[in-house]
Amino acid sequence: MPTDRPRPRFAVVGGGVSGLTAARELALAGARVEVIEGAAHLGGRIRGAELGGVTIDIGAESFATRGGTVAELIHEIGMGDEIVRPSGLGSWVIDGPRALPLPAAGTLGIPATPLSAATVRALGITGAVRAAIEPALPRSVGRDADSLAALVRSRLGSRVLDRLVRPVSLGVHSADPARLGVASVPGLAAAFAERGSLITAAKQLRDSQAAAGGAVAGLRGGMTSLIAGLARELDRLGVAVRTGEKVRRIAPAPADTAAAGAGSAWQIFDAEGATIATVDGVILAVPEGVARRLLADDVTGTPTDRVEVVALAIDDARLDAAPRGTGALVSRDAVGSGGASAGSRRAPTQTGAAPILAKALTHVTAKWPERAREAGPGRHLIRLSYGRAGSAPETVGLDDAEVRSIARYDASRILGIDLRADAIVDLARCTWRMGRPPGSRDSRLLDAPAGVTLAGDWVSGTGLAAIVQGARAAAAEALAAAPGSSQ
């Protein structure tokens, strides 16, 4: 940025990873930047919780290693030595009454080796052979699919969709693949068009033959340490960070408020209607519904889903064997194999067992050796996720005792061990509101006015890798549009 021009001033609304990364990019380019976050703390969907004397991630707990995007950022802010890998135990899927290890996979559970023993166990020989012939199918098969589910079914068959892709999609995107466009998986449409095979495209994107959940990494102190590292970096760069300050709306600034030579274009108003900033450009790194409200767009019908994470600390040495590896994804009709008795809230299925309400379980102390050392021998930490696309989490609005009972039953069924009530020594809960990823069939395009740039998972895609890449792109776009920019 030329030094003989006034430094443009930006406001970044939203203090999650997306907003903090975008603010850092702007500051590195020489802009004056302030971050405005409505909550009392930074982090967005990255948050820690105290559970059984150990701090665990109650939101995002890891990042995809594909492409090195997040690792590059972590190294840039001097935290490269903090990157840790999960154990190599792999994940499972609970499908109906069966519990099966997830086979080696490409992205979203698409099998990388359809005729492997693990894939045959998951799909049966008929489903595995159906998937194995996919690379030989004409490129035209699935080309006109209007959803991710339709593409997978046409190319790989219904068993791959129902037993692998749907549980993974519900766990990752909180959405059924029938409601997701192919574009909701970053790079998949382009890779499929290039390769002509969904299996080959998914393997290329995953860049790993590891079991689902293996191509990720975390931080020794949990992902909240990334937020702390970014906050330190912004302080070093002179970025003003304001928390606990809710933005009510943004609007074009009157011409007489323009800073000399800078042409300031936007005013930001707080909850009382007072102007809190006048800037050249704004990055809205907030959920879609918030962005629409700030821009006075119609928020009616904005697609959002709620997810509740329920974490349990359990004293039970039987879990030392990690019976479901690092965790399990749960199909809609799963009833699991544990022996806990169902509560009165659930009607038994035809198998005689009540359904599992959780959509996923993470065995935190089996997945992350650092958490296991902190927890100590015999103490296990698990997380269960509730809330599928289109329906509220079954745990929302219930008191802790009811939630504890539901979570104990679900964990018992998923893990295949009848957990005693007195073995659960602590509980933590957190509810998140999730936007639909780009390419969702029920999403609506939001055209931001000149000088306003959008960022976040609903813009760039789900996962920290997509979010960081999208935040950097948003900063570059905002800089290019700034008054006097030569970019």
Mean pLDDT score, 210-233 = 84
Question: What is the distance between the alpha carbons of residues 182 and 439, in angstroms, rounded to a whole number?
Answer: 7
Confidence bin at 439 (pLDDT 50/70/90)? low
- Under the banding of pLDDT at 50, 70 and 90, the label for residue 180 is confident
User: 284: which strand partners?
Assistant: 13, 454
Instruction: Read off the pLDDT of residues 383-424 as tens digits, 9 standing for 90 and up.
Output: 999 987 667 899 999 999 999 999 999 999 999 999 999 999
Range in 26-40, 57-71, 220-234, 436-450 with the lowest mean pLDDT: 436-450
Mean pLDDT, rounded, of the chain:
87
Contact status, residue 393 vs residue 354, Cβ threshold 8 Å: no
Please choose, from the candidates 50, 462, 83, 95, the residue with its C-alpha nearest in 3D space to the C-alpha of residue 288: 462
* pLDDT-based confidence at residue 209 (cuts at 50, 70, 90): very low
**pLDDT, greater one: 483 or 362:** 362
CA dist 61 and 138 (Å) reads 39
Question: Is residue 210 scored above 60 in pLDDT?
Answer: no
In whole angstroms, give the CA distance from residue 225 to residue 193. 39
- Stretch 446-454: mean pLDDT: 91
Residue 241, pLDDT > 90, answer yes
Q: Report d(CA 371, CA 379) in Å as an integer.
A: 10
pLDDT band at 437 (very low <50, low <70, confident <90, very high): low
Instruction: Mention every residue, 6+ apart, whose C-beta is less than 8 A from residue 236.
Output: none
**What is the model's pLDDT at position 409?**
96
Q: Let me know: does 472 contact 318? Beta carbons within 8 Å.
A: no
What digits encode the pLDDT tens for the residues 249-272? 999 988 766 544 445 689 999 989
Q: Convert the pLDDT of each residue in 98-151 to its tens digit.
A: 898 888 776 788 888 899 998 999 899 999 999 999 999 999 998 888 889 999
Q: How confident is the model at residue 486 (pLDDT cuts 50, 70, 90)?
A: low
pLDDT at position 201, please? 86
Asked if residue 473 has pLDDT above 70, the reply is yes
Q: How far apart are the first and last CA of the chain?
A: 8
Contact in structure between 36 and 271 (CB atoms under 8 Å):
no
Provide the pLDDT for residue 484.
66
Least confident of 59-73, 223-237, 430-444: 430-444
Q: Which of 29-38, 197-206, 210-219, 333-342 has the lowest mean pLDDT?
A: 333-342
**What was the pLDDT predicted at 212?**
41
For residues 255 and 49, give the distance between their C-alpha atoms in angstroms, rounded to a whole number: 47
pLDDT given at position 206: 66
Residue 261's pLDDT is 43
Helix (H) and strand (E) counts in the chain: 15, 20
pLDDT above 70 covers a percentage of the chain that reads 85
Backbone angles phi, psi at 28, to 5 degrees: -65, -25
Q: Which pLDDT score is estimated for 347? A: 53
| Res 228: pLDDT | 97
Cβ proximity of 323 and 83 under 8 Å: no
Q: What are phi and psi of 83, to 5 degrees?
A: -70, 130
Instruction: Tell me if residue 20 falls in helix, strand or coil.
Output: helix
Q: What is the pLDDT of residue 171?
A: 73
CA distance 449 to 338: 54
pLDDT of residue 216: 86
Q: At what angle do helices 224-236 and 17-28 cross, to 10 degrees?
A: 30
Edge-to-edge strand order for the sheet containing 83-84?
63-64, 216-219, 83-84
Q: Given 3-state DSSP classes, what are the helix, strand and coil percentages for the chain, each rounded to the nearest 5?
A: 35, 25, 40
Q: Is the pLDDT of residue 63 over 70?
A: yes
Burial degree of 336 (CB within 10 A; 0-12, 13-18, 19+) = buried
Grade residue 349 by pLDDT with cuts at 50, 70 and 90. Answer: low
**In the Cβ-directed half-sphere of 483, how many Cα atoms lie within 13 Å?**
19
